[in-house]
Amino acid sequence: MTAIEKIRNVAIIAHVDHGKTTLVDAMFKGAHMFRDNQRVQERAMDSNDQERERGITILAKTTALHWSGHRFNIVDTPGHADFGGEVERVLSMVDSVLLVVDAFDGPMPQTKFVTRKALALGLRPIVVINKVDRPGARPLWAQDAVFELLIELGATDEQLDFTCVFASAKQGYAMMDINDASENMDPLFDAIVKHCPPPQGDPEAPLQMLVTLMDYNDFVGQIGIGRVVNGQMKVGDQVALVKRDGSIQNHKVTMLYGFEGLARVNLQAATAGEIVALAGIPDIRVGETIADPTNPEALPYVDIDEPTISMMFVVNNGPFAGQDGKHTQSRRIRERLMKELQHNVALRVEDTDSPDSFKVSGRGELHLAVLIETMRREGFELCVSRPEVILHTDPATGEKLEPYEDITIDVPDAYMGVVMEKLGTRKAEMQDMANELGRVRLHFKIPSRGLIGYRSEFMTDTRGEGILHSLFSHYGPFKGELPGRKNGVLISMDQSESVGYALMNLEDRGIIFIHPGTKCYEGMIVGEHARENDLVVNIAKGKKLSNMRASGSDEATRLTPPREFTLEQALEYIEDDELVEVTPNTIRMRKRILNENDRKKAERRLTN
C-alpha cells in the first residue's frame, strides 16, 4: 500500500482526437513502465476492438504508474459527447484533471462539455497544450482560449489560476515554457505532484467506496471499480453493499485488484485514496456504495444527464432471419440489453406493447450505434428503427420542447455557402463565424432532429474536407416539421439473387446499393430512386439469350460501383417506415412492411 500523501488521482479529459490516449502512452514510457525492448501497441489503453477501428475512446479506463516515489492513478476518459456518461461518473474518483487541448484547434465543443463537469465538482485543472510540434500550432493562443473558456464556464479564481504544460505526446516530451528544451515527460509529472492535491480520505474512518466503473470476468463474475474514499479493505472482509434505493446487502470480498500499467495485480488490502477493483458481489451496480457493515453509509452519486435520442430494437422477422446470427429471440435480446444497463449508465431500456420490440434511449446516434455493433459482433440479429429525439413538455406552460445541439463546423471557404444553405432548411441558427487560415469556423444552434441524416450529406457537400462536432445544449421550443430525405428508394420485387444485367439497366433509375450476386428479398431496399417516390424493381431480370451473334448486340455489362453503407450511415439514411436489419455478416435496409400490397393498404389507411 502507498502512503496517502504519495497518491495522485487524476483524470485525462479532452475533446475527441486531441491526444488523451496518446498522452497516456507517453506517460507510460516516461515512467519506464515497459522494458526498452518490449513491444507495446500504440494507444495501449484503447483495448476494445471498436475503439481501435474508430480511433476514439468509448469506455473510461483506469491505470496506474509510479514516478519518483509517487503513485499516479490515471483515468482515461472518452472525448465524444455521446459517451459523456462515462466522463461524468469517473470524475468523482479523482482530485484533479489534465485538460488536454490541441495547440492548433484550441478548445472545441466537447472540451467545453467535459470542462464544465470538472469545474462543477470543484476540480482544479492542469492544462496540457498538446501537439506543439504540429505544423501551424498556436500554443499561446490555445492557452488564452482555455482561459477565456474557463471564464465563460464560471470558474473560481483558484481554478482560473491553472498550471499550463506544453507537450507533444507523440514525440514524448513536455515543458513548462514553450521556449524550454525537453526530452521527457518529467515536467508534466512534476506539475501533477505539485498541483494535484493528494486524496482527502481518512484511513481510520469506517469503510466507504463508490462503485464508478464495472467489468466482468468469467472466473470471478462481476467486478466493481472505484476509489476507496475512507477506511481500509482486505481480501476476505465482510462488507455492506448500499444499493441506490437504500437497501443494504452483506457480502464478502473474494478478490481485490490494483492497477499497474496495462495489467491488473492481486492485492491483499487497499486503503483510502486508492483506486481498486473488487470481486465477490454478484449483483453490484454503478453508483452503489461499498461500506463498513457496522456503519453502512452511502456516498453521494453524480447524476447522469438524461438521454436525448431513442430507437426501437425489433426482432428480425425478415425471410433471412436466423441464417447469420446465433441469438435471434426477443428473450435473448432483452437479456443482453439488461446486461448492458449494469455498466452503461447513460442508457435506458423500456418494454413496449409488443413483446418483440424494445425502446432503447441513449445520448446520441453514436452511443446507440456502438451498442448495436457490439451486439452484432456477439452473434445477435435484430432490426433497428430510425433514431428519434426524446420530446419533453414544459410543466409550467404545457409547451412541447425538443433537444438542441451546439455544432461547430470547420470548412474551406468554398463550401461555406452550401453548408449554411442546408443548415438553414434544418432550422439551424448561426451563433458565430470566424475565418482562420483559409478555413471558416461556424457555430450553430440546431434542433437535434435537424442533425439526423445530415452528417453523410455534409461530408458529400464538403468533398470530405469538412469537420463537424456537435454537443447537446438544452431543451427548447419545438420547431415544427423538418425536411426529410428528398429521394425515394428502389425496392426488391421478390426473393432472388441480383443479376448484373438487371442492375446495369436500373442505373438510369437511381443509385444502386448492392453488388451482383447479392441475395435479396421482397421489401429489401436495393438503391435510391432518382425521384421522390419509391419504386419496386426486378433485380433478377436476366438478358434474353439467342443463338444469333451480331456486331453490337452483345453489349458488355458495365456497372458503377455501388454505394455501400456503414451502420451509422444506414441509421441516418432510413425513414420512419423503414428498418436497418443488422446481422453478424450483413447490414441491410428494408421496409417495415415487406409486402407491396400490404404497404399500399397501410398507406390508404393513413390517408383516410
Residue positions counted in the chain: 608
Q: pLDDT for 327-378, tens place per residue?
A: 889 999 999 998 888 777 788 899 989 889 999 998 888 888 889 998 999 9
Q: pLDDT for 119-149, tens place per residue?
A: 888 888 999 999 998 888 889 999 999 999 8
**C-alpha gyration radius of the chain:** 27
Rounded CA-CA distance 448/366 in Å is 13
For residue 174, the Cα-to-chain-centroid distance in whole angstroms is: 29
- Average of per-residue pLDDT across 572-586: 91
- Average of per-residue pLDDT across 526-530: 92
Report the pLDDT value the prediction gives residue 44, as an integer from 0 to 100.
47
- Average of per-residue pLDDT across 228-254: 88
Look over the chain and give the mean of its residue pLDDT values, rounded to a whole number: 84
Rounded CA-CA distance 186/173 in Å is 8
Three cell numbers written together for 319? 425471410
Predicted TM-score (pTM) of the model is 0.79
Q: pLDDT for 163-200, tens place per residue?
A: 999 999 888 889 998 888 788 889 899 999 998 988 88
Task: Report yes or no: 134 and 101 within 8 Å, Cβ to Cβ.
Answer: no
Tell me the backbone φ, ψ of residue 579, rounded to 5 degrees.
-135, 160
In sequence order, the 6+-apart residues with CB closer than 8 A to the CB of 513 are: 525, 526, 527, 528, 562, 563, 564, 565, 589
Task: Report yes or no: 171 and 133 within 8 Å, Cβ to Cβ.
Answer: yes
Q: pLDDT for 562-571, tens place per residue?
A: 988 888 889 8
The three-state DSSP-derived secondary structure of 122-141 is CCEEEEEEECCCCCCCCHHH
What is each CA distance from 384 to 331, 356, 403, 485, in whole angstroms?
16, 12, 22, 18
Domains by residue range for the chain, with CATH: 4-195 (3.40.50.300), 208-291 (2.40.30.10), 392-477 (3.30.70.240)
Three cell numbers written together for 80? 465524444
Residue 380 DSSP class: B
- Average of per-residue pLDDT across 12-39: 75
Report the pLDDT value the prediction gives residue 36, as an integer from 0 to 100.
55
Binding-site residues for GTP:
17-22, 130-133
Residue 346 DSSP class: T
pLDDT band at 2 (very low <50, low <70, confident <90, very high): low
Report the pLDDT value the prediction gives residue 55, as an integer from 0 to 100.
61
Q: pLDDT for 372-420, tens place per residue?
A: 998 999 999 999 999 988 888 888 888 889 999 888 888 888 888 899 9
Rounded CA-CA distance 70/5 in Å is 9
Sign of dihedral through CA atoms 391, 394, 398, 404? negative
Sequential DSSP letters for 18-59: SSHHHHHHHHHHHTT-S-TT----SSTT--SHHHHHHTS--S
Report the pLDDT value the prediction gives residue 52, as an integer from 0 to 100.
59
Task: Report yes or no: 456 and 511 within 8 Å, Cβ to Cβ.
Answer: no
Tell me the backbone φ, ψ of residue 114, rounded to 5 degrees.
-70, -35
Binding-site residues:
17-22, 130-133
Rounded CA-CA distance 237/43 in Å is 37
Edge-to-edge order in the sheet of strand 535-537: 510-512, 525-529, 489-492, 535-537
Task: Report yes or no: 71 and 2 within 8 Å, Cβ to Cβ.
Answer: yes
Q: pLDDT for 412-471, tens place per residue?
A: 888 888 999 988 888 889 888 888 767 888 889 999 888 887 887 888 888 888 888 888
Q: pLDDT for 537-556, tens place per residue?
A: 998 887 777 665 555 555 66
Report the pLDDT value the prediction gives residue 451, as an integer from 0 to 100.
86
- Average of per-residue pLDDT across 505-533: 91
Report the pLDDT value the prediction gives residue 384, as an integer from 0 to 100.
94
Tell me the backbone φ, ψ of residue 368, rounded to 5 degrees.
-75, -35
Residue 51 has pLDDT above 70, yes or no: no
